């Protein structure tokens, strides 16, 4: 009884009233910003006007908490998930909560960008690199530059304890032989501060409070276009990336429509929407948004989602041991 009450309380807390969305042909749960989610759905409906799509948006941790509460209650509403990272979907794959679908559009993507069994497909690349204030004395070109004396006490970075992208970034760099967790110890010794999310990092660098920051690409590129005194660097060692993957729930009652939605996201038209919104498209052969270098000049470092999932708890402990539990 207590478990049932807990589930019902959670559903109410997340504003879950299922009746309104169950009548739709397709229900999308997404962590995209509202504007992006609407543009994505509008694009799909333009290609499939016969489909009624409804979407629910929140940050990945909250949208997943909502979905898990629904699954525990035996009534998952979503047909498709479009969230930040593959690690979360790898967890769902292993739990048997996703439907395998090998989209024909995947042939236009690097194999590393989709699950080999078809359980999830990446839709874009949101990389993490270096932002610096244009008044900074040093113009960094590599991750190693942030550990140099010139950057002492001048570096801000998001914490993996509060940012999923930051955790994936840390796990990615920790796997690079020339960097590893020793690199994070060097950053700590050099006075780097790790706290909060990407927005706070950008604000600190744009205001001049810090000279350098570790941040997701689109934030500084958008702000630079608006006149902010910032530059973004894709470090020479390579960048980490979250790939905003999409997946179909194994519980869906609209599998064929859900497959069409996955195909659309991966199609040339769907990828053009990502470009228009200012993101790097995951599909090969696409032009990039203004402000980005050529796609082949961006070196994306590999991340094994299954390994990252297995190591996440220990990696968070390792990070906390270096920077402190406060992030």
Q: What is the pLDDT of residue 296?
A: 81
Report the half-sphere exposure of 8 (CA within 13 A, side-chain side).
Answer: 5
- DSSP-based helix, strand, coil % in the chain, nearest 5: 45, 15, 40
Q: What is the pLDDT of residue 6?
A: 45
Rg (CA), the chain: 20
Q: Strand pairing partners for 193? A: 156
DSSP 8-state assignment for residue 238: -
Q: What is the pLDDT of residue 269?
A: 97
Q: What is the mean pLDDT of residues 59-86?
A: 93
Q: Which domains does the chain have, with CATH numbers?
A: 2-123+243-291 (3.40.190.10), 125-241+304-323 (3.40.190.10)
Q: What is the pLDDT of residue 114?
A: 95
Q: How far is residue 1's CA from residue 171's CA, in Å, rounded to a whole number?
A: 40
The whole-chain average pLDDT of the chain stands at 91
Question: Residue 62: pLDDT above 90?
Answer: no
Question: Residue 326: pLDDT above 70?
Answer: no
Q: What is the pLDDT of residue 23?
A: 61
Q: Are 275 and 286 in contact (CB under 8 A)?
A: yes
pTM: 0.80
Find the angle CA(180)-CA(181)-CA(185) to the nearest 5 degrees: 125
Higher pLDDT, 327 or 122: 122
Higher pLDDT, 11 or 45: 45
Question: Residue 325: pLDDT above 70?
Answer: no
Q: What is the mean pLDDT of residues 239-246?
A: 95
User: What residue spans of the chain are helical by DSSP H?
Assistant: 2-13, 19-22, 34-47, 60-72, 86-94, 164-174, 180-189, 198-206, 218-225, 255-266, 268-276, 305-323
Q: How far is residue 98's CA from residue 248's CA, in Å, rounded to a whole number?
A: 6
pLDDT tens-digit map of 197-232: 899 999 999 999 999 999 999 999 989 999 999 999
pLDDT tens-digit map of 164-207: 889 999 999 999 999 999 999 999 999 999 998 899 999 999 99
Q: In 100-244, where do the E strands start and end?
A: 121-122, 124-133, 155-157, 193-194, 212-216, 230-233, 240-242
Counting residues of the chain whose pLDDT is more than 90, the rounded percentage is 80
pLDDT tier at 264 (50, 70, 90 boundaries)?
very high
Q: How far is residue 212's CA from residue 170's CA, in Å, rounded to a whole number?
A: 17
Q: What is the mean pLDDT of residues 295-311?
A: 89
DSSP 8-state assignment for residue 295: G
pLDDT tens-digit map of 10-34: 444 444 434 444 467 999 999 988 9
Q: How far is residue 295's CA from residue 225's CA, in Å, rounded to a whole number?
A: 20
Q: How far is residue 246's CA from residue 82's CA, in Å, rounded to a whole number?
A: 4
Q: What is the pLDDT of residue 33?
A: 87
Question: Residue 316: pLDDT above 70?
Answer: yes
């Amino acid at each position: 009884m207590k478990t049932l009450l807990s589930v019902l309380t959670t559903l109410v807390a997340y504003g879950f009233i299922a009746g309104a969305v169950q009548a739709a042909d397709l229900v999308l749960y997404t962590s995209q910003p509202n504007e992006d989610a609407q543009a994505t759905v509008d694009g799909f409906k333009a290609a499939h006007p016969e489909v009624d799509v409804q979407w629910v948006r929140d940050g990945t941790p909250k949208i997943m908490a909502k979905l898990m509460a629904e699954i525990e209650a035996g009534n998952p509403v979503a047909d498709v998930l479009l969230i930040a990272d593959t690690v979360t979907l790898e967890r769902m794959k292993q739990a048997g909560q996703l439907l395998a679908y090998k989209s024909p559009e995947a042939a236009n993507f690097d194999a590393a960008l989709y699950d080999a069994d078809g359980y999830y497909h990446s839709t874009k690349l949101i990389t993490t690199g270096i932002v610096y204030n244009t008044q900074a004395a040093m113009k960094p070109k590599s991750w190693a530059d942030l550990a140099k004396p010139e950057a002492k006490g001048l570096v801000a970075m998001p914490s993996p304890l509060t940012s999923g992208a930051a955790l994936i970034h840390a796990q990615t760099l920790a796997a690079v032989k020339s960097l590893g967790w020793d690199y994070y110890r060097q950053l700590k010794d050099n006075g780097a501060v790790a706290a909060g999310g990407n927005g706070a990092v950008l604000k600190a660098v744009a205001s001049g409070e810090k000279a350098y920051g570790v941040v997701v690409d689109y934030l500084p590129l958008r702000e630079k276009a608006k006149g902010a005194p910032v530059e973004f660097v894709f470090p020479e060692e390579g960048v980490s990336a979250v790939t905003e993957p999409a997946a179909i729930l194994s519980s869906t009652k609209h599998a064929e429509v859900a497959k069409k939605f996955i195909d659309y996201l991966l199609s040339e038209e769907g990828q053009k929407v990502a470009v228009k919104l200012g993101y790097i498209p995951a599909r090969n052969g696409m032009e990039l948004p203004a402000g980005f270098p050529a796609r082949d000049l961006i070196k994306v470092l590999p991340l094994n989602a299954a390994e990252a999932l297995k190591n996440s708890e220990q990696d968070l402990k390792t990070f906390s041991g270096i920077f402190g539990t406060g992030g």
